[in-house]
Amino acid sequence: MATDFKSIPLIDISPLVEKWDDPNLALDKGVAEVVRELDEACREAGFFYVKGHGIPDYLIKEIRNISRQFFHLPYEEKLKIKLSAATGYRGYQRVGENVTKGVPDMHEAIDCYKEVKPGMYGSMGEAMEGSNQWPNDPPNFAKLMEEYVNLCTDLSKKIMRGIALALGLSVDAFEGNKAGDPFWVLRIIGYPVLYHTNGTEMPKNDIGW
């Protein structure tokens, strides 16, 4: 049962990342500490940050830079990959189009999901069938994002091994037929500075202000 936590835990998962495929993973003291922290974070907060994840800093910086470049493009250019039902709800969403609890969220975004082929998830997955929409400008946008997604997906499998151990399960409990081919979501978000026509800033009751 969650408690009244004051901050989201930050866990150094480097021992787990380093030894995730070791046959004696569960016996390693460093991994055991990571497993303990994962268990505590999931039970007490329900969320956690990680460091020591192994994703290169240079790639994270490139992802941030190329995302900013896209969001600084003219609106008409961004609309070339507009989100719609026809695209499987993948693509660009303009500022204020996303609504949270009836209130417009003052951000713009590109929604990306695991690509779903027709029939992959039966009738339940029909709405999500489609391929991701990547802009041609900036160049290399798709290549960088797909590399990042692949690394994050691989990282998630390693973290799930730690969570499996925290639950007293076998290290590979969330692999194979049970959860070995996960559905992933990536939302690339930009929060522009917005102003009223009189020069004053947007009201604070707008989410994302």
pLDDT per residue of the chain (209 residues) written in tens, 0 to 9: 556 778 899 999 999 999 999 999 999 999 999 999 999 999 999 999 999 999 999 999 999 999 999 999 999 999 999 999 999 999 999 998 888 888 888 899 999 999 999 998 889 889 999 999 999 999 999 999 999 999 999 999 999 999 999 999 999 999 987 777 889 999 999 998 755 545 555 555 556 55
**What secondary structure letter does DSSP report for 155?**
H
Distance of CA 60 to CAs 8, 63, 153, Å?
Answer: 21, 5, 15
Q: Is 21 exposed, middle or buried (0-12, 13-18, 19+ CB in 10 A)?
A: exposed
Output the pLDDT for position 207: 60
Report helix angle 141-166 to 29-44, nearest 10: 90
The DSSP annotation for 39-102 comes to HHHHHHTS--EEE-----HHHHHHHHHHHHHHHTS-HHHHGGGB--GGGTS-EEE-TTTSEETT
Q: Delineate the domains of the chain, giving CATH numbers in brackets.
A: 1-54 (no CATH), 55-209 (2.60.120.330)
Output the pLDDT for position 202: 53
Query: Which of helix, strand or coil describes residue 151?
Result: helix
Taking the C-alpha atoms of residue 103 and residue 97, their distance in angstroms, rounded to an integer, is 10
Output the pLDDT for position 103: 87
Q: Which residue has the tokens 């408690």?
A: 3
Output the pLDDT for position 201: 54
Check if the beta carbon of residue 91 is closer than 8 Å to that of residue 83: yes
Output the pLDDT for position 84: 93
Output the pLDDT for position 168: 96
Taking the C-alpha atoms of residue 8 and residue 45, their distance in angstroms, rounded to an integer, is 7
Question: What Rg do the C-alpha atoms of the chain give, in angstroms?
Answer: 20
**Full-prediction pTM beyond 0.95?**
no
Output the pLDDT for position 31: 98
